[in-house]
Structure 1
Amino acid sequence: MTRQHYFATILIVLVTAAILAAGCTTQATGSSPKSAADTALAQADAAYAATNYHAAESLYLLAQENYTTAGDNAAALKARNGASRSYRMIMEFPYNRSAYEAVLLAAYPNVSAERRAGWINGSGIASIQSDNETWYYEENVGNIRFHNFDLMQNATAALGQNPLYDPLTKYAFAPVNASAGPYGAPVAWVGTEAISVPREDLPANGTLKIWLPLPIETGSQTNVTILSIEPAQYVKSETGTGTDMGVAYLEVPVSEINGSFLNVTATFRFVQHDQHFTIDPVKVLPYNTSSPEYRKYTASGTNIVITPAMKAKAQEIVGNETNPYLQAQKIYWYIVDTIPYSHAPHSWLMTSGTPESEYVLDTGIGDCGTQSMYFAALCRSLGIPARAAGGYQIIPPGNGSTHFWAEYYLEGYGWIPVDVTAAETADWAYNAIPDDRHRFKAYYFGSLDPYRYVIQKDVDIPLTPTPPDDAVLFRMVIQNPVTVCDTCQDDPEMLLLENFTTSLKKA
């Protein structure tokens, strides 16, 4: 949804009312654009601090307009970033109470009013407060199906298939040959990433800085080759494939874009293997707690956080168990059995500074990324090295979708994969029997299918060169391009998100 459509369809009247209620003003007759901009900026900062994000965005945009008129480009950029920050706080929450009730009724007309009422402020219903009103998360309506297996199974039955579960049972139910090693069933993939932005949506000049995701070498992802990155003349640096996160950094002079579109492409190929680790708990060796790798992956991070509450939850889950393999197993089944999959408001989480793993601890819900970071945080709280790895899941026959999973480390075995989200799809299958559901879930503790495209080994890996703090939203992961443009009138990152595609197919 674009910002223009967002305002046109839902918020224009409400924003106006909020501005008036906050005592905000427009440019006074006879005042200079610079003076009016300073006033609007001060009011925007105050509105943001008071959680009046709708009013704050409008005021920041007013300040940006007046600073631009006054020729103060540095102040205009600051105001634009304030508007972007305000928008990112509310962009995933478009429904006020009445609108939310209406979309619930439209989505579930055959569900009783009493049951729908529980989906207003009940468990797992995400909302925020802004401008003295409650605003509901746009994905709540879909998340309700994930929380209610009868509704989800009715949906898959209507399709006549289980889109995630059915294609992956081939691996989950295959006989295990423990002597063959952890990596097998190689699948070769060819990928293309493409940015195509209309020239009219870009400024006349300035530089568009782009961090473009690329595949890396891992235990399961091998023979990685970057075939091309175009336009090659704008590529300033590449991380290479033997790093923790694959990135190409480009600087595109906007004045040199002569066609109707800015087109940036990357093509690559790699081989992905399925993974299956057979662990004997007795053979797990003690950790070398002084090694840099151990310290790195047992430390608290930006989104994989170790807090007293996280430590208490981890200890509650594992009880008296001390073997790291069996501890990780308990954590895995706890998440699979009690933390239902739910789309998460990542824009709000990152803009508000809420750690993703803490969001799951507080709400009891989460998507692939938040669930994986929660698993890693619980493991790290017990001294088990863990991380959240990801990129894309390539659902057969080859449709890629962004995805994250977890890995934990066992001395003597290496990095062991865990995918709680893939496991939970067994509960969505309308025709699966209980034994098969359990078997499918058990597979994803220590095993992984080869339908993956790995970009990064963990979250919160720093980008190089380092972008400005207030200009980048999705620095935690780089499944999509990260973008900075100081001369763009609108949020450049949102612009590229809307004009980026990834295509993956078997080679």
Structure 2
Amino acid sequence: MAHAWFRIVMVVFCVSMACSVTTADDSVVAQAEKLELAGDFVGAEKLLDAALAKEGLDAETKYALTFERDRLDRIRQDFELTQVDLEAKVLAGVKDATPDEFAKWLEEGRFDAREIDGQLLYMNSGVRNLFYRDSSLEPRRNVPKDESDVQHLRLNLTRQIRAAVKEQKTPYVLPRKFDVQFTGTVKADAVPEGSVIKAWLPVPRDFPFQRGMTLVSTSPQPIEVAPGDSPIRSVYFEQKATAGEPTIFQTHFTYEHDSIRFDIDPAVVTPFDGNDKEVARFVEEGPHVEFTPELIALSKEIVGDETNPAIQARKIYDWMSQNINYSLAIEYSTIRNVSDYCRANRYGDCGQEALLYIALCRVNGIPARWQSGWNMFPGRLNLHDWSEIYLAPYGWVPVDVCYGITATQNMHFLTKSEQQEVADFYFGGLEPYRMAANSDHAQKLTPAKLSPRSDTIDFQRAEYEVDGTNIYYDKFSYDFDVEEIPPATTTTSKETNSRK
């Protein structure tokens, strides 16, 4: 496919977006944002610190200023490589790469970068994103990925699901049961000794296709378990920190998840009439789903004069499968408008792709919402985000545009027709290897977290705070083990600190 080469991301973060914070100190936030975009992070920090030092700040203003201050540190953690560092990684990671070739890629803007306090710094995942954004480089990985078995397993599973749906005449088939142990570890001395760490760990939400979450054991004892219909389901803990020792939180649970496949007939689909208020809110604008002039123009380019919601949604899916590249992400909390970020750059990770898909559906009046948690496909255990769209008379239908993109662009061990077969499946289908903790994005935890979340959109890696201050990713880790039961031959996977 043609590539729109990947611009340096100095302005794309938020230059076209008004700041979402509305407080008495909005002018301070706006000034700090201008300094940040100009690369003056130290100046922005001084401005925000001075504002935070004022007496009598209300809670909303303090929260907004604290988030803006934290956000600068978060951006720094995503962009740590100098040009020298980046070149060394490229020459080591790309077979037969030369300094001249690196210089050419640099000139083409293939590496995300930020100007930070007088230094141009590059995103930590720059080398891996070379391969994701340009599949022609795949043979030049110094450590090749073994994808053949996984890709053929996925193809065969989608065929089994289709056959079962046809035979059983229901979209929910071939259930799988899972045994999961999740461990969240706040690093030793990350917080003062004796302080109480508050922790929220993700667990499965109730859906028509996901049920029966049972807590087998926890450590420590939980204080609260969010209800099954929570849009962001967690188990809440509190535990004192001990000097020199990590603080560990653990959940052990089981649950069941169906395979899903809706065979959508556009001829029977009708536009959403707006009468169901619970569904109607998912056609509205919201955080990271803004109907910008650029989004509207792209929608018209993709959808044209089509009015059937099923065909519109499929046109959007197909366009994204062919025109958006998968890319490892900068942290969502550092981006003002995630769907616009993905639109503008023509790349994103699974969540950024999902939000762009949701935004394009909503601007066409198609209810669309976020769904996320973990992808537990054998050999590919990871964090993952996808979406659902509402199509009458079918109801909520899954759409995983990330796998449409992956199948179309990266499943090179399959034939073209097999790639298309997999891509077709994920418009209306999911395999059972999922744990969905969220039914919407940018939702509030239960009980409420006082400090800005580490991930302001998603909830997969857990959240922590102490004395009203967030504990960010550099101060904790996570780890989970998943066992599929029963079938007689179980599959065990392990994942540690991977994004999506």
The yes-or-no answer on 1:476 pairing with 2:463 is no
* C-alpha contact (below 8 Å) 2:151/2:414 kept by paired residues: no
Partner of 1:129: 115
* C-alpha contact (below 8 Å) 1:162/1:428 kept by paired residues: no
The yes-or-no answer on 1:494 pairing with 2:473 is yes
* C-alpha contact (below 8 Å) 2:211/2:255 kept by paired residues: yes
Distance 2:416 2:215 in 1: 43
Partner of 1:96: 82
* C-alpha spacing 1:245/1:84, structure 2 compared with 1 (3 Å): closer
% of aligned pairs identical?
25
* C-alpha contact (below 8 Å) 1:195/1:264 kept by paired residues: yes
The yes-or-no answer on 1:407 pairing with 2:407 is no
Q: CA deviation at 1:160?
A: 4.7
What pairs with 1:437-456 in structure 2 (closer than 5 Å)? 437-456=419-438
* C-alpha contact (below 8 Å) 1:475/1:482 kept by paired residues: no
* C-alpha spacing 1:432/1:220, structure 2 compared with 1 (3 Å): same
SS of the residue 1:377 aligns to: helix
* C-alpha contact (below 8 Å) 1:47/1:55 kept by paired residues: yes
The yes-or-no answer on 1:183 pairing with 2:183 is no
Q: Partner amino acid for 2:40?
A: N
Partner of 1:141: 127
* C-alpha contact (below 8 Å) 2:343/2:356 kept by paired residues: yes
Partner of 1:51: 39
Q: Partner amino acid for 2:87?
A: E
Distance 1:207 1:296 in 2: 37
In structure 2, list runs of 5 or more residues that go unmatched: 1-31, 54-58, 486-500
Distance 1:342 1:499 in 2: 22
* C-alpha contact (below 8 Å) 2:454/2:471 kept by paired residues: no
Bigger radius of gyration among the two: 1
Choose which of 357, 365, 368 in structure 2 pairs with 1:386: 368
What pairs with 1:152-171 in structure 2 (closer than 5 Å)? 152=138, 155=141, 158-162=144-148, 164-171=150-157
* C-alpha contact (below 8 Å) 1:389/1:406 kept by paired residues: yes
The yes-or-no answer on 1:252 pairing with 2:242 is no
The yes-or-no answer on 1:459 pairing with 2:445 is no
* C-alpha spacing 1:154/1:424, structure 2 compared with 1 (3 Å): farther
* C-alpha spacing 1:380/1:275, structure 2 compared with 1 (3 Å): same
* C-alpha contact (below 8 Å) 1:154/1:430 kept by paired residues: no
The yes-or-no answer on 1:299 pairing with 2:278 is no
SS of the residue 2:460 aligns to: coil
* C-alpha contact (below 8 Å) 1:361/1:374 kept by paired residues: yes
* C-alpha contact (below 8 Å) 1:54/1:86 kept by paired residues: no
SS of the residue 2:81 aligns to: coil
Question: What are the superposed Cα offsets for residues 109-128 of structure 1, whole Å, 9 maximum, x if unpaired?
Answer: 52465653343253553211
The yes-or-no answer on 1:368 pairing with 2:365 is no
SS of the residue 1:91 aligns to: helix
Question: What are the superposed Cα offsets for residues 316-358 of structure 1, whole Å, 9 maximum, x if unpaired?
Answer: 1011111000000000011110101001212xx423x421111
Distance 2:205 2:303 in 1: 34
Partner of 1:6: none
Partner of 2:493: none
Partner of 1:223: 212
In structure 1, list runs of 5 or more residues that go unmatched: 1-43, 68-73
* C-alpha spacing 1:117/1:49, structure 2 compared with 1 (3 Å): closer
* C-alpha spacing 1:280/1:125, structure 2 compared with 1 (3 Å): same
Question: What are the superposed Cα offsets for residues 212-251 of structure 1, whole Å, 9 maximum, x if unpaired?
Answer: 211111122122223333211xx33221223222112223
What pairs with 1:283-362 in structure 2 (closer than 5 Å)? 283-346=268-331, 349-351=332-334, 353-362=335-344
Q: Partner amino acid for 1:478?
A: F
* C-alpha spacing 1:240/1:396, structure 2 compared with 1 (3 Å): same
Distance 1:151 1:46 in 2: 37
Distance 1:83 1:382 in 2: 36
Q: CA deviation at 1:79?
A: 11
Q: Could you state the TM-score of these two structures normalised by the residue count of structure 2?
A: 0.79
Partner of 1:41: none
Distance 2:342 2:268 in 1: 32
Partner of 2:466: 485
Q: Partner amino acid for 2:262?
A: F
Partner of 1:197: 186
Distance 2:453 2:149 in 1: 34
Partner of 1:27: none
SS of the residue 1:317 aligns to: helix
* C-alpha spacing 1:50/1:115, structure 2 compared with 1 (3 Å): closer
Choose which of 186, 190, 209 in structure 1 pairs with 2:198: 209
Partner of 2:24: none
Q: Partner amino acid for 1:100?
A: L
Q: Partner amino acid for 1:418?
A: V
Q: Please, what is the CA RMSD of the aligned residues?
A: 3.3
Distance 1:401 1:54 in 2: 35
Q: What is the number of residues matched between the two proteins?
A: 442
Q: CA deviation at 1:484?
A: 1.4
* C-alpha contact (below 8 Å) 2:326/2:349 kept by paired residues: yes
